[in-house]
């Protein structure tokens, strides 16, 4: 089975992201955002390739404004990395896969 990003929302964010047993990459996106569409396949690739090391989630900012606001997401795509329930890293805007992998400390 291919690993795909988990859709998260305001209600399950705590359980799926903050209580996860490994680092989590969360892609904050919206359907109208072109750079989000560019970064989506990169995020999907990372979800598949690094499923043992990392959990990957996607959060639609239009439908889940409370969580987006809580983490200060002003422009999208914003990719946040959480570890042990805390925000550890942030990438705003499109980034190529190699840059993301490097930023995430994956190898």
State the catalytic residue, choosing from 17, 24, 25, 36: 36
> For this structure, is 33 an active site residue?
yes
State the catalytic residue, choosing from 20, 30, 33, 38: 33
> For this structure, is 57 an active site residue?
no
Chain CA centroid to CA 16, Å: 12
Q: Is the dihedral of CA 91, 95, 100, 102 positive or negative?
A: negative
| Integer CA distances (angstroms), 107 to 35, 42, 46, 90, 96, in order | 25, 15, 11, 18, 15
Active site residues: 33, 36
């Amino acid at each position: 089975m291919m690993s795909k990003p988990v859709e998260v929302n305001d209600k399950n964010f705590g359980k799926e992201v903050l209580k996860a047993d490994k680092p989590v990459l969360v892609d904050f996106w919206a359907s109208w955002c072109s750079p989000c569409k560019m970064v989506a396949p990169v995020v999907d690739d990372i979800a598949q390739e690094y499923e043992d090391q990392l959990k990957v989630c996607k959060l639609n900012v239009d439908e889940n404004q409370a969580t987006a606001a809580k983490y200060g997401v002003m422009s999208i795509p914003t990719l946040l990395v959480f570890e042990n329930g805390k925000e550890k890293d942030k990438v705003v805007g499109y980034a190529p896969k190699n840059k993301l992998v490097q930023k995430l400390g994956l190898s």
